[in-house]
Amino acid sequence: MTIKQVSVFVENRVGTLQEIMSLLASNNINLRAMSIADTADFGVLRLICDDPFRAQKLLEAEKCIVTINEVLGVALPDRPGTLENVLKILADNGYGLEYVYAFITHNQENAYIILRIEEVEENEKAEELLKANGIIVLNTCDVCQYSAE
């Protein structure tokens, strides 16, 4: 139940992020989560969206370097210590993380967290471990679903 994440290599210059957002918005691609890590010259923009493969094609047509990555998503009760519990489960079982980011959901009871496991081929095992420990593991439909509330 991994989630498809769009990763975009972007030049660190004024307007780049706005141009990407404009392209996606004008093509009706809806974002659910976003993270950007940068250096002085470039950055990696990570997106969770409702149509990752179409987003990839649109961005590549604009000469962006784009990959689709598999990430895990979890829903955690929105209270202190729940993320630490997930991190402890993973660490105690030898799973390292490349990065983690969170985003707001329409469900105010849960926080959604994206986890990139260092050894991507271990995603399925990590997912089963989390489920066995009572952690709700998300899929793309869970993340991209909208509430009418």
> Is the separation of the CB atoms in 51 and 29 below 8 Å?
yes
Lowest mean pLDDT among 62-71, 97-106, 120-129, 137-146: 137-146
CA 149 from chain centre, in angstroms, equals 23
Q: CATH assignment of 71-144?
A: 3.30.2130.10
Handedness of CA 30, 59, 26, 102 (dihedral sign): positive
Q: Where in the chain is the domain with CATH 3.30.2130.10?
A: 3-69, 71-144
Distance in angstroms (rounded) separating the CA atoms of residues 46 and 31: 11
d(CA 77, CA 135): 10
Pick the CATH number of 3-69 from 3.50.50.60, 1.10.10.10, 3.40.50.2300, 3.30.2130.10: 3.30.2130.10
82-133 pLDDT, tens digit per residue, is 999 999 999 999 999 999 998 877 766 777 888 888 887 888 889 899 999 9
pTM: 0.82
Q: What are phi and psi of 125, to 5 degrees?
A: -65, -40
